[in-house]
Amino acid sequence: MPASYGKHDPLPTQQSAAPQDSIDLQRATQAALEEHGRILAALDLFSQSLGPAFEPLPPELQPVQETPFGPAIFYRAYDISCLWATYTMARMIAIRAHPHMPPAAHMAAGVAAPQTKSLANEIGRIVAGIAVDTPDKPVNPSLGAALCESCMPSFFAAVQYHDAAQRHHTVMRIFSIARRTGWGTAEVIANGCETLWVRTAAMGRGPPYTRVVRNMRPQYSDDPRLNGSWESLDPHAMPDEEDEADRRLIKVKPGARLNWAIGIMGTEEDISSMN
């Protein structure tokens, strides 16, 4: 950790949570609402503190490029584009994490969709402006890093996309990043987007979707998130406690919840299994 961080007093040790029956729900809810308000205020202050150098390029400096989300947004540097994509993602997360939202990430994304639609579209426009060259063109380290960094905002935005053109554009872009940079997580993200859209359709909460990324893989993968083998597992069978790749372990293993991006794709069934 950089030495400059040592100048600050350490954060106080968090006390263990009180038993459920001793919590004053009304007071706890009010405290959560106040904290949520402070988070939004901090995000506002951050965006307002950025100067002219962080503004989008005007049309006379960058030709308009149309995308399924609207005209792409270009900035003077890749890192500035990533900063705005991450900031927009943070605002989206804050809205979905409102104390009155459902605890399941998948359901919260659906409930909050009317409020976050413009943010999801903006992320699509921002990441589309990071690179306009051909997919088979070699990438330099700066561009490669920016492309990888843009995948997570795209993931948070994509879970609420219903438009077929936006979905296709997103997964093909992320899959292209995996092939161009060699960053395997990008392919996992692309598959995650498709998995969620398929499950959303199965629950009657979104339009039908047919996978395209899984069939484009040049070779077989042992990763169950890529080959889909987890979908045929018996949910009632005893999983291997040492294998955090087993999705059935999300109720007992924090690592499994992270591995399966439950914070983005978690369903009501996932939440109930962890209670």
Above 50 in pLDDT, residue 127?
yes
> How much is the mean pLDDT over the chain?
81
Above 50 in pLDDT, residue 236?
yes
**DSSP per residue, 171-202:** HHHHHHHHHHH--HHHHHHHHHHHHHHHHHHH
Sign for the pseudo-dihedral over CA of 178, 228, 262, 203:
positive
Which helix (H) or strand (E) covers residue 38, if one does? Answer: helix 25-49
Q: What is the pLDDT of residue 199?
A: 85
Q: What is the pLDDT of residue 247?
A: 62
CB–CB of 178/184 below 8 Å? yes
Q: Is pTM, for the whole model, over 0.75?
A: yes
At 179-206, the pLDDT tens digits run: 888 888 898 899 889 988 988 898 888 8
Work out the average pLDDT over 97-103.
91
